[in-house]
Amino acid sequence: MSEMSEASKYWLEGFLIGNQPSPPTDEDGMPDFESKAYDLWQDEMELFTETGFWTYEDRFCDQCDLELLKSNPTETCVSCFNK
């Protein structure tokens, strides 16, 4: 998809954002913007806009055992992947 038009690029971004999983919430059902879970969710969302991938499975890096972001389509965490 290297020859993508501006319009379809924005459509795709909107599509991905529209499909992003909800942020983690506290017991009142509100996002807890100060929580570590929310920080992690933001990282996952940033990667999701690049990969369009999401899984609800808990997966771990096959090299360092770090928990993988839910939007990471590979078996390797970002820091091992960039080594």
- Contact residues for Zn ion (CB under 5 A)? 61, 63-64, 66, 77, 80
The 3-state DSSP class for residue 4 equals coil
Least gap, CB of 49 to Zn ion (angstroms): 22
Closer residue to Zn ion in complex, CB, 45/77 = 77
List all residues 6 or more positions away from 74 whose beta carbon is below 8 Å from its beta carbon. Answer: 68, 81
Q: How far is the CB of 81 from Zn ion (least distance, A)?
A: 7
Which position has the token pair 């506290």?
26
Q: Nearer to Zn ion by C-beta: 26 or 67?
A: 67
Instruction: Tell me 10's DSSP state.
Output: H
